[in-house]
Amino acid sequence: MYKIGFIGLGIMGKPMARNLLKAGYSLVVYDINEEAVEEVVKDGAARGKSSCDVASKSDVVITMLPNSPDVKEVIIGDKGVIYGVKPGSVVIDMSSIAPSASRELAEILLKKEVIMLDAPVSGGEPKAIEGTLAIMVGGPEATFNKVKDIFDKMGTSVKLVGDIGSGNITKLANQIIVALNIAAIGEAMVLATKAGADPEKVYQAIKGGLAGSAALEAKMPMILNGNFKPGFRIELHIKDLKNALDTARELGVKNVLTVKVLEIMEELKADGKAKDDHGGIIRFYEKSANVEVRKKQ
């Protein structure tokens, strides 16, 4: 069984690391947040001194970080993974970053005889805790097959979608669909509530039809209870949509609706809601209509 290094113990990374521990894997972990490290160490992980130290003690290194600059710093920065990783090892970046960054890092690691997979996830904190994430993987098929058992301990839908960078391309497509879906939920439910309908009954009536979706099922109960505790923060979704638009510009693709939803998220960020759950997109519509979509008492 592989020795795994896990770097990045945030909202998503911590439960993912815990699921690997529960599955019996030997883990060495590192994060700049000492409190998060301490929690996972209490669960049975070993403490790494740096990204380099983690890599030197691991066969497989997993990173789960906020954005491209963070991943680059951890992998090729001072005391980075690249200075400790052994030839023949595998680096799996499960962050959601720019596809071009994944390809750049894979080329650098390949010179050290290290294969990289980009494997971003979808499902938010609840599915990270359950170990039921959707995992989209880019990289060589032989390497994917070699570490698939690791993925299976964190997710229930694990798909190899193409070469390195393809995982993050898939994640960008996912994030566009999720953002537009949540925005549509907000727009529709504010309209229904403003018109005098009971939003909970509207939700129950439409969830089994074509308007039903995983986003509707996940976010409407939270919205009805006024719960915007983050499973996935607005500020992180902003980052993903910016990466999507950057990629679209490189490819000459128009993303008209993505641009609009990004503007909505940026306005919410300016209102101090950057760390709220992305289901909080509805509050943009609530504010403009002067109504709240909540469960009736």
Q: Which CATH superfamily is domain 3-164 in?
A: NAD(P)-binding Rossmann-like Domain (3.40.50.720)
Q: Which residues contact 218 (CB under 8 A, 6 or more apart)?
A: 124, 126, 231, 279
The token pair at 199 is: 């939003």
Asked if the 169-289 domain carries CATH number 1.10.1040.10, the reply is yes
Buried b (16+ CB within 10 A) or exposed e, 132-151: ebbbbbbbbeebbeebeebb
What average pLDDT does range 237-253 have in this prediction?
95
> What pLDDT, on the 0 to 100 scale, is given for residue 133?
97
26-61, pLDDT tens digit by residue?
999 999 999 999 999 999 999 999 999 999 999 999
Please tell me the pTM assigned to this model.
Answer: 0.91
Per-residue pLDDT tens over the stretch 76-87: 999 999 999 999
Residue length of the chain: 297
Burial of 6 (0-12, 13-18, 19+ CB in 10 A): buried
Rounded CA separation 241/233 (Å): 13
- What residue ranges do the domains of the chain occupy? 3-164, 169-289
Question: In the structure, what pLDDT confidence band is assigned to residue 167 with cuts at 50, 70 and 90?
Answer: very high
* Angstrom distance (rounded) from CA 58 to CA 49: 13
Indicate which residues carry an active-site annotation.
171
pLDDT at 297: 76
